[in-house]
Amino acid sequence: MDRDKAYFLLLNIGHFLDHLFTLVFASVAALVLYREWNVSYAELLAYATPGFFAFGLFSVPAGWIADKWSKDGMMCVFFICIGLASIATGFAQTPLQIGIGLFVIGMFAAIYHPVGLAIVTMKWKNTGMRIAVNGVWGNLGVAAAALITGYLIDFAGWRMAFILPGAFSIAMGFLYMALRREGIRADQEAKKDAVAAGPVSKPYRSAIIRVAIIVFVTAAVGSIIFQSTTFALPKIFDERLQGLAVHLSGLLEGLSKGKEDGVATVIGSLAFVVFAVASLAQVVVGSMLDKYGPRNVYMVVAAIQIVFFALMPGLTDGIALAVAFGFMLGAFGQIPINDYMIGKTASGAYRARIYGVRYVVSFTVLAASLPMIAFVYNNWGFDPLFWILAVAGIVIMCAVLNLPRELPTPDSETAPAE
């Protein structure tokens, strides 16, 4: 494997580990700690909350340090320090100690999105496809967290679920350091060049501010859509696919001992299949971004969201499954677009910081979406939620219509043509 491929592979492994580390505790708490420590599951989740808060909050300082010092250097810090934090968390003896460990994990996990994505968008020309592939690796980290943690709990104990991934991350950190030693020096030279460069033109400044506003608006609204669909989909399927699930569980003899358990397994399996297949929409969107540009692609994705969310109210069983697959394609498909636009428009001297702000916005809205979902569902059920998400898609469409047809780039002398 050449150095360029190894570089991209390590960045992808970093995205995988980033999401895995933030979700290890979810399985540990649910499967073993509530019994071992005699603490309720709800109480244990309270100790995880500061870690998720740190995951978003520290994105901005991580991006700022990367821009001022070195992006590759910060990636070394990410791999090694999150690994050390995870190992230390594996030795926790009390809920408070594990809460402190999770906070430190979240603090170092915050490095990846502003720094890793900045590198991906700066290094390679086919930006859309690279961001999409990198995003799929992140999704694999989410999907694998429960699988890997559950296996380690059964065969090595819950502490190994923190310690072994931590040791692997540290090893990846030293590999990254060996591979990118020259890149850290190159970052310093790039910093000098950025300082020596003259001020940007007013048309470019105006155009990039316009794009930035649209990016942050669509990122915030898109986060509502993503969180609402990914968090609520299993419950939606539980309510809407009962007839289909009973039929499928009857066909799959021996799936479980009891009929009710078989239905639950089928519903969970259907949700997993929809998530897994729909996540591949990122790859399709990534290839389209490089060919057709973000404005056209985003309009198509927004239209898919509007249509399928508007169709979903009242549907059940097979047709509900098909429509749910449609709106999940839209929910996953939107993920790489904002990162692509930031990568194309932001100057290298500020790119990581802008990514940091973008993810603070996204993660804050993700957290705020959960009370909204609960309130709507408890009062009116899921149908009004689908209408709310359709309106969110319309808001995204209106924002995207204001994007320039060609994005301003750091070397632009004038604003792009409309």
Co-location of 220 and 312 in the same domain: yes
What integer pLDDT is reported at residue 253 of this predicted model? 55
Range of the domain at 327: 202-400
Look up residue 100 and give its two tokens: 């402190």
Query: Tens place of pLDDT for every residue, the chain, 418 residues?
Result: 688 899 999 999 999 999 899 888 877 887 788 889 998 877 887 888 788 888 888 998 998 998 888 889 999 999 999 999 999 999 999 999 999 999 999 999 999 999 998 898 887 777 788 888 898 898 888 778 877 888 888 888 999 999 999 999 999 999 999 999 887 777 666 665 555 445 556 666 777 888 889 999 999 999 899 878 877 787 888 889 888 888 887 776 554 444 445 676 677 778 778 877 888 888 899 889 888 989 999 999 999 999 999 999 999 989 999 999 999 999 989 988 998 898 888 766 677 888 888 888 887 887 778 788 888 888 998 999 999 999 999 999 999 999 888 877 765 544 444 4
> CB neighbours of 109 closer than 8 A, spacing ≥ 6?
18, 21, 22, 54, 55, 78, 82
Q: Give the pLDDT score at 303.
A: 97
Taking a C-beta distance cutoff of 8 angstroms, is the pair 363, 369 a contact? Answer: no
Report the CATH number that the domain containing residue 85 is assigned in CATH: 1.20.1250.20
Residue burial 387-411, b: 16+ Cβ < 10 Å; e: rest: bbbbebbbbbbebbeebbebbbebe
- How many helices, marked H, and strands, marked E, lie in the chain? 19, 0
- Does 229 share its domain with 265? yes
Phi, psi of 38 (to 5 degrees): 55, 45
Is residue 406 assigned to a domain?
A: no
In a domain, 418, yes or no: no
Do residues 360 and 327 both lie within one domain?
yes
Distance CA 363, CA 39 (A): 28
Q: At what angle do helices 158-179 and 181-196 cross, to 10 degrees?
A: 60
**Structural domain count, the chain:** 2
Give the number of other CB atoms < 10 A from CB of residue 155.
8
d(CA 76, CA 112): 10
Residue among 328, 143, 317 nearest 238 (CA): 317
Taking a C-beta distance cutoff of 8 angstroms, is the pair 141, 121 a contact?
no
Domain shared by 34 and 138, yes or no: yes
- 288: tokens are 């389209």
| Any domain includes 411 | no
Q: 379 lies in a domain?
A: yes
Read off the DSSP letter of residue 69: S
Does some domain include residue 412? no
Residues 235, 383 share a domain = yes
> Hey, what are 251's tokens?
């066909």
Tokens (6 digits) for 416: 């792009």
- Residues 192, 259 share a domain: no
Q: What are phi and psi of 350, to 5 degrees?
A: -125, 0
Going by the DSSP 8-state scheme, the letter that residue 254 receives in this structure is T
Distance CA 334, CA 354 (A): 18
Q: Which of 196, 231, 258 is the last residue of a domain?
A: 196
Please check whether residue 410 lies inside any domain of the structure. Answer: no
pLDDT of residue 198: 52
Neighbours of 247 (CB within 10 A): 14
- Both 208 and 173 in a single domain? no
**Alpha-carbon separation of residue 286 from 14, 137, 141 (angstroms):** 20, 14, 19
Q: Do both 271 and 157 map to the same domain?
A: no
Same domain, 172 and 317: no
First to last CA, the chain: 43
Instruction: Determine the distance from the C-alpha atom of residue 235 to the mean position of all C-alpha atoms in its chain, rounded to a whole number.
Output: 21
Regarding whether 242 and 129 lie in a shared domain, the answer is no
pLDDT of residue 349: 65
